[in-house]
Structure 1
Amino acid sequence: MTKLEAKPASLVTSANALLRPRLLAPGPVETDPRTMLTLAKPQIHHRTPEAREIVLEARARLSALLGAPEWEPLILTSSGTGAFEAALVSLVPDGANVLSASAGKFGERWADMAHSLGYAVTRLEKPWGEALDPAEVADAARGQAALLITHSETSTGALHDLARIAEQAKRANPDLLILVDAVTSYAVAELRPAEWQLDAVISGSQKGVGGPPGLGFVFLSPSSVERLGANPRRYYFDLKKEVASQRKGETAQTPAINLVEGLLTSTERLVAVPLETLWAEKAKLNAALLAAGNALGCRPFASRVSPAVAALVPPVAVKDVVGALKALGARAVAGQAPHQDALFRVSTMGYFDRYDTLGMAGLLEDAFANLGRPVERGVAVAAAWKALNA
């Protein structure tokens, strides 16, 4: 028998190989390791008492993070885009007039979706990075059946003043349905759906709740639940069937029950504090990233920043910044077309705390120093500390 000799491992020439990977993108986000362990448990059947208990508890957690106990939380096996389509086709009659107000990639997506589904779409568009004007939205909302709007625009790092927009739009058109993309504002930014007279709020598992991708969430006001069935052109995304099933702890179709169980773990720490505390802490973490970027010569891309995303315009090429961070094991992302060369984006939406944020500030320092920028060591970290303690 020939003895197999072990080949010598390649010599590691850089200490960077010892760095752990870090996911700093605004979704998918870093996930609590305990959540991933939950996903490794043996498969259960989705039509069992155990599964029903999981679904009911997950719905209760989602409702708590919305802060509107009278609203209906629905869990779909889909992305946030699928959840938005479900809300649209379940609430808005086929071919109705809808207004899409946008200032970024995801706001534009809802207009494209509605158009492809046969709705008569009016587009109100502002330059990327700007905030929507409530008066303009209200004026355009007259005669419309629904308003499709993004609260936190992930592509630009902007947070629109949804409270004022909804107030003025409803005043101009009391029958208007307001469908909100809260994919990166839910469990991150102040969101008061009942007080703000919203009708549907949409989000997903891979953002503020810190889970893996694969689940879409739709939250419906009591009046919206009564409207379900307005559009007959739906099957999988039939929220009327989902309401009936999920109130019993089941789903109308086969769910990603493992992901739903993982949701119980990823939301555990979030529901342990009052919503206002959660919102305030997320705002501070993002402010710390923006301050760190400013100390290194970056500026915010958004005119009204979201606590979900630090969208930064760097003093060097965006691709170089993203590449320098990647070399340090950290995954950030550039802007989306057509602004992919204008900004880069980092986020603390996931399994992060303030000490992780200080580490991110240090990563930014190293990345810019490695690009040959004159960096005073500790300046970004000090700026982040100051923002955290403001």
Structure 2
Amino acid sequence: MVRLNSHPSGRHFLQIPGPTNVPDRVLRAIDHPTIDHRGPEFQQLGKKVLADVRKIFQTVQPVVIYPASGTGAWEAALVNTLSPGDRVLMFETGHFASLWKKMAEKLGLQPEFLVGDWRHGVDAAAIGAHLVADSAHAIKAVCVVHNETSTGVTSDIAAVRRAIDAAGHPALLLVDTISSLGSIDYRHDEWGVDVTVSGSQKGLMLPPGLSFNAVSPKAIAAMSSARLPRAFWGWDEIIEANKNGYWSYTPATNLLYGLSEACDMLLEEGLANVFARHQRHAEAARSAVRAWGLEILCQNPAEYSPALTAVLLPEGHNADALRKVVLQHFNMSLGQGLSKLSGKVFRIGHLGDFNDLTLMGTLAGVEMGLALAGIPYRPGGVQAALDSLRATAVPHGLNAA
């Protein structure tokens, strides 16, 4: 008699939208012996990592690296630039935008939360109108999420920047790229972002444990008047130490080895090719969802996420029950629905160290799971994805550059 809870054969399919699968090259790099973080060997590593990570953010400005989760980088972005009682304009795109707003409240800020439906991205026109009405310039920052991990919706950051500029408003622009950096085209300098927040465990293909703030000169200048308490999170001492390749505290040395290798992998592939690869896999995944007769949570095709797809199940069917079936039978983890979406959606991560075969194994597991879980669907999603991949195949040796 076969027991489903016996040790499964084969590898576990981790197809949540982060943490993502860590490539062998990165695992081997992290496996290096720990070195003296005040010595010359570390200095060489530090200078390389700090230079390479700027290329990933597409910035020439400093990138501050913390031994923390993305939540820490959220806090760092706020406490380095703002003061108690400051008004901040935020937009409800999903679970993580809502959590950032709650953090702002806990820190003593006054967030103005523009309501969203969790199926669309940031409304840049609404941001602009709100700023135009703020003639006294009481709003000190606009905080938005580039790729909302809970919904699979991507927002147009360049449009938000244009709206701020058109309003003639001096507010800082703070952007969360935790599930988009290294997966979706993102341009810190070109888009005029003041603080970009990110984390290591998604498109950067690392384990959790590193977080980032890319900071503009305007953001650094804001530190001089920002009065929210900060000690560990303060940019100034870290940036000063970074000039010589060091940190003002003990850094996560072995994760920095991994970050160096991850940057090498992304830059070897070429960022344009990385972004094109993610777009191609995302469209194939959505082709499968459409063929199954299921609904993509994101309602605006221009805002579809290249990093993940959130799939809405028919009324009366529980997405967590489907996820349980898929895990028990196929040893595959799919992302759960968060807060408002609990039990209503499952999320397919297609980001990071990912290729055609990984995608097809994932979609095959989903299609078999739909049948076993008794979810009404039309067979053929796997074939639709295959057709999509075949139509967009890139010959070996060619790239998007």
Q: Same fold (TM over 0.5)?
A: yes
Instruction: Identify the match of residue 75 of structure 2 among 52, 69, 85.
Output: 85
Q: Per-residue CA shift, 1:299-342, capped at 9, x if unaligned?
A: 11112321111101134420222012202011112110121121
Aligned position for 1:200: 195
2:18 to 27, 32, 53: 27
Contact 2:293 2:378 in 1 (8 A): no
Q: What is the aligned partner in structure 1 of residue 310 from structure 2?
A: 311
Which letter maps to 2:351?
M
Conserved 8 A contact 2:206-2:258: yes
Matched, 1:257 2:257: no
Q: CA deviation at 1:372?
A: 4.2
8 Å contact from structure 1 (residues 67, 275) kept in 2: no
Answer whether contact 1:72 1:225 (CA < 8 A) is retained: no
Counterpart Cα distance in 2 of 1:262 and 1:319:
33
Q: Which runs of 5+ in 1 are unaligned?
A: 1-10
Q: Deviations over 1:225-261 (max 9, x none)?
A: 3333332421000011111111211112211111111
1:214 paired with 2:216, answer no
Question: Does the 8 Å contact 1:151/1:159 carry over to 2?
Answer: yes
Q: TM-score, normalised by structure 2?
A: 0.89
Please, which runs of 5 or more residues in structure 2 have no aligned partner? 393-401
Instruction: Indicate which of 342, 358, 361 corresponds to 1:359.
Output: 361
TM-superposition CA deviations, 1:72-125 (whole Å, max 9, x none): 111111111111211211122343221111221111122111111111221112
Superposition pairs of residues 87-236 of structure 1, within 5 angstroms: 87-141=77-131, 142=134, 143=137, 144-232=139-227, 233-236=229-232
TM-score normalised to structure 1 length: 0.91
Tell me, in whole angstroms, the C-alpha distance in 1 between the residues paired with 2:284 and 2:94.
24
State the superposition RMSD in angstroms.
2.0
Rounded to whole Å, the distance in 2 between the matches of 1:386 and 1:168 is 40
Other structure's SS at 2:259 match: helix
Distance 2:324 2:24 in 1: 26
Is contact 1:289–1:360 with CA below 8 Å preserved after alignment?
no
Partner of 2:53: 62
Return the match for 1:266 from 262, 265, 290.
262
Task: Determine the C-alpha separation between the residues in 1 that align with 2:374 and 2:91.
Answer: 41
* C-alpha separation in 2, matches of 1:343 and 1:325: 14
1:238 alignment partner in structure 2: 234
Q: Pick from 338, 347, 350 the counterpart of residue 352 of structure 2.
A: 350
Please state whether the residue corresponding to 2:267 is helix, strand or coil.
coil
- C-alpha distance in structure 2 between counterparts of 1:374 and 1:99, whole Å: 41
> Residue 122 of structure 2 contacts residue 144 of structure 2 at CA under 8 Å; is this kept in 1?
no
Identity of aligned residues (%): 28
Q: How does 1:321-332 map to 2 (within 5 A)?
A: 321-327=322-328, 328-332=330-334
Query: What does residue 398 of structure 2 align with?
Result: none
SS in structure 2 at match of 1:148? strand
Tell me how far apart the structure 2 counterparts of residues 81 and 13 of structure 1 sit (CA, whole Å): 39
Aligned residues: 378
Segment of structure 1 superposing worse, 250-259 or 207-216: 250-259
**Residues of 1 paired with 2:168 and 2:332: CA distance?**
47
